[in-house]
Amino acid sequence: MGKLENKVAVITGAGSGMGKQIALQFAEEGAKIVAVDIDTERLEKLESDIIAMGGDVSTFLGNVAKTEDVKAMIDMAVAEYGTLDILVNNAGIMDSFEPVGEVDDSQFDRIMKINVEGPLKAMRKAMSIFLPKNEGNIINICSVGGLHAGRAGASYTTSKFALVGLTKNTGYLYSKSGIRCNGIAPGDISTNINDNIDLTKITEITKDRILAGVPLSPHSASPDVIAKAALFLASDDSSFINGEILVVDGGWSVY
């Protein structure tokens, strides 16, 4: 029997990168997956891969920046599988390393909607299912950029610091309600998040203050290292861990 046998998990940003590996790992351990993404082709490929391994998956084409989509993805889990046990807020976007003096309003708003508001609204919706049964598990994919201020621009850094705070606050406040909320802070992981970066916006201050620290990372890791960390936090192996941020960066942030 798998570590997540018959658990129902909603995973956002599940079509690629860390989200895809988390979905595959959870399915392999017996979870029923509701995979959420904005890309139809990626969802179809994930669905095919999970079915091929004998797993159970439903897909939801949606954008976590839209409140109605966030509500609908949770409703879908209940409609398809009767409940929700695990929520993984993985969907996120990067900035282009802009310092505060160069932040664009529209980009800042978009990053906050996806990286902070989406997880918050998903967590709020999940509570309507978790609280009545006195049980639930939330895993937020944060970032070392939410623990250390020199890993990204002002917008992304702000969003991930906020997500870390939301994670810790939720873990603490609901700790007597049978609900756990933890985060994972990845370092340099090989995903498509860097596709959002506009290289034309890389200025001298970014090169001097941010990019100078990139070589200190030991190497870029595969998304499966994050999936394994997520499995640990989703399973009973971490039953007494709550409100914590698990750093998975190969030692990069120790310096």
Catalogue the active-site residues. 156
3-state class of 206 per DSSP? helix
Q: What is the DSSP letter of 189?
A: B
- Contacting residues for 143 by C-beta, under 8 A, at least 6 apart: 92, 151, 152, 156, 160, 185, 186
Locus of tokens 């509701």: 34
Please give the C-alpha separations between residue 170 and each of 86, 145, 232, 239, in angstroms, as whole numbers.
14, 20, 19, 16
Q: How far apart are CA 96 and CA 100, in angstroms?
A: 12
Alpha-carbon torsion 181, 187, 192, 198, what sign? Answer: positive
Percentages helix, strand, coil for the chain (3-state, rounded to 5) are 50, 15, 35
Among 91, 122, 95, smallest CA distance to 108 is for 95
DSSP code per residue over 4-50: TTT-EEEEETTTSHHHHHHHHHHHHTT-EEEEEES-HHHHHHHHHHH
Q: How far apart are CA 203 and CA 59, in angstroms?
A: 40
**Rg for the chain, CA atoms, rounded:** 17
